[in-house]
Amino acid sequence: MWVEEQNLAANIITGRHNFYDAAAGTDFGSDNVLYNRPGHNRLIIGSFCSFARNVRFIMGAANHPMNTFSTFIFPELDANLISKLGMSKADMPVKRDTVIGNDVWIGRHAVIMPGVHVGDGAIIGAYALVTKDVPAYAIVGGNPAKIIRSRFNQATIDWLEDFQWWQYGDDLLTQLVPLLTSVDTTSARQQLEQLVRRQGLAS
């Protein structure tokens, strides 16, 4: 299924061609994005990402107060209680937007915690619990997730981040795909650069 074809909440922002494995009738916004209350923070997804079945994004509304004796969400019992207790939004842990880069692959049952930024081209292993930012083109796994290795050397990563193949239109996909999936990355890079020059596009 395609994420961008779903009826998403206003705070879920997605690029194009993001695939997720799911049973028929699954709703990405409710099944994969948990504790989402628009107004707390956003989930921003790039383009060409792949999400395996049961990937979960935990949103900021899952937060509980941590600087009080109890972490229980008493205001849920009484809407007026928060004002009676003198609590404010500042008393809750504040998380930034969760950002998933472009061409990211997230494995089955992985959990992404609020405020995490996952760089372009990263791979997150199955059942990983991601609590910290993931660099571009890193492979991470475990609970909590840790960097296993980088997919490429730093010079290649820098080139990929500058090239940003995902920015080009769908009309070029038939020419890009054979090069993006070639195991001969040295030749593929040269041909990608030539293709961009022929098209008169900036890289």
Alpha carbon distance 190, 202 (integer Å): 15
**20 CB neighbour count, 10 Å cutoff:** 20
H-assigned helices in 28-172: 28-31, 81-84, 154-163
DSSP string, 15-47: -S--EE---TT--HHHHTEES--TTS--EEE-S
Check if the beta carbon of residue 87 is closer than 8 Å to that of residue 75.
yes
Active-site option among 40, 64, 109, 117: 64
> Is 64 known to be catalytic?
yes
Q: In this structure, what are the phi and psi dihedrals at residue 129, rounded to the nearest 5 degrees?
A: -110, 105
Catalytic annotation, residues: 64
